[in-house]
């Protein structure tokens, strides 16, 4: 059964709060300087969070700045239990060539996955059928296989990996404290909210200790 058939059988598209079906993509691994595969089943069985970082194309302009920014936060994301994977509709061979040519990518150590058919990009709703490229989409899947976060930008707006780290920190905290909720700009150690009838209309007082 192809990836497309699996997706159509389980889900028509990725939705927040839903379980993501298994998928496999070929990839270039900069750490090993060789080709490999990204297998979602293996990531899930390892109990890791998965960050899928879709971008339009290799050898373009905003894309290397995004991948370099993500590389700067890669170690922090790994400490949070994340497997980080960049994805475009280029081939694994193009990934290898781009990684070797573009100096902005010199610190990239995460796997660079290839989705030349656009099947995975299409499932996550970032595939542009007019261009054959993926929009700038970031998706976070928790260790249970549930999609918990998504962000999609058009071609001309780059993302901020620092905010991605903050969102992962919040999601990791909430997985262990499901009865709580993280307010805007929350970072570890700051006050959370515990929704209840007593909190209705009293969020200011709760956050300010009144």
Domain that holds residue 27: 3-176
Burial 132-169 (b: 16+ CB within 10 A, else e): ebbbbbbbbbbbebebbbbeebebeeebebeebbbbbb
What CATH number did the domain enclosing 83 receive?
Answer: 3.40.30.10
- Are 136 and 194 part of one and the same domain? no
Residue 40 to residue 83: CA distance in whole angstroms: 10
Nearest 5°: the CA angle 107, 49, 95 is 35
- Are 88 and 109 part of one and the same domain? yes
- Are 204 and 151 part of one and the same domain? no
Nearest 5°: the CA angle 124, 130, 131 is 85
Give the pairing type, strands 127-128 and 133-134.
antiparallel
Is it the case that residue 8 has pLDDT exceeding 70?
no
Domain count for the chain? 2
- Are 118 and 190 part of one and the same domain? no
- Are 99 and 163 part of one and the same domain? yes
- Are 133 and 209 part of one and the same domain? no
DSSP string over 86-136: EEESS-HHHHHHHHHH-GGGTT--SEEEE-TT-HHHHHTT-EETTTTEE-E
Express each pLDDT in 86-125 by its tens digit. 999 999 999 999 999 999 999 999 999 999 999 999 999 9
Q: Which residues are catalytic?
A: 63
Express each pLDDT in 126-171 by its tens digit. 999 999 999 999 999 999 999 999 999 999 999 999 999 999 999 9
Express each pLDDT in 170-210 by its tens digit. 999 999 999 999 999 999 999 999 999 999 999 999 999 88
Confidence (pTM): 0.92
Strand partners, 139: 52, 150
- Are 21 and 82 part of one and the same domain? yes
Q: What's the token pair of residue 96?
A: 């290898």
- Are 7 and 89 part of one and the same domain? yes
- Are 89 and 167 part of one and the same domain? yes
Q: Taking Cα atoms as reference points, which of 138, 143, 145, 85 lies closest to residue 115?
A: 85
- Are 126 and 189 part of one and the same domain? no
- Are 18 and 119 part of one and the same domain? yes
- Are 113 and 157 part of one and the same domain? yes
């Amino acid at each position: 059964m192809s990836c497309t058939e699996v997706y159509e059988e389980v889900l028509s598209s990725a939705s927040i709060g839903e379980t993501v079906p298994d998928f496999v993509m070929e990839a270039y691994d900069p750490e090993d300087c060789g080709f490999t595969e990204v297998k979602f089943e293996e990531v899930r069985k390892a109990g890791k969070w998965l960050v899928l970082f879709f971008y339009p194309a290799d050898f373009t302009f905003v894309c290397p700045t995004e991948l370099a920014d993500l590389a700067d936060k890669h170690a922090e994301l790994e400490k949070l239990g994340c497997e980080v994977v960049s994805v475009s509709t280029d081939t694994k061979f193009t990934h290898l060539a781009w990684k070797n040519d573009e100096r902005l990518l010199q610190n990239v150590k995460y796997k660079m996955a290839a989705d030349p058919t656009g099947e995975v990009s299409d499932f996550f709703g970032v595939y542009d059928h007019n261009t054959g490229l993926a929009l700038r989409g970031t998706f976070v899947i928790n260790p249970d296989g549930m999609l918990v976060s998504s962000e999609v930008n058009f071609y001309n707006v780059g993302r901020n990996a620092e905010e991605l780290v903050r969102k992962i920190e919040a999601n990791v905290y909430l997985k262990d404290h499901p009865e709580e909720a993280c307010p805007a700009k929350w970072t570890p150690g700051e006050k959370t909210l515990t929704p209840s009838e007593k909190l209705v209309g009293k969020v200011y007082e709760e956050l300010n200790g009144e």
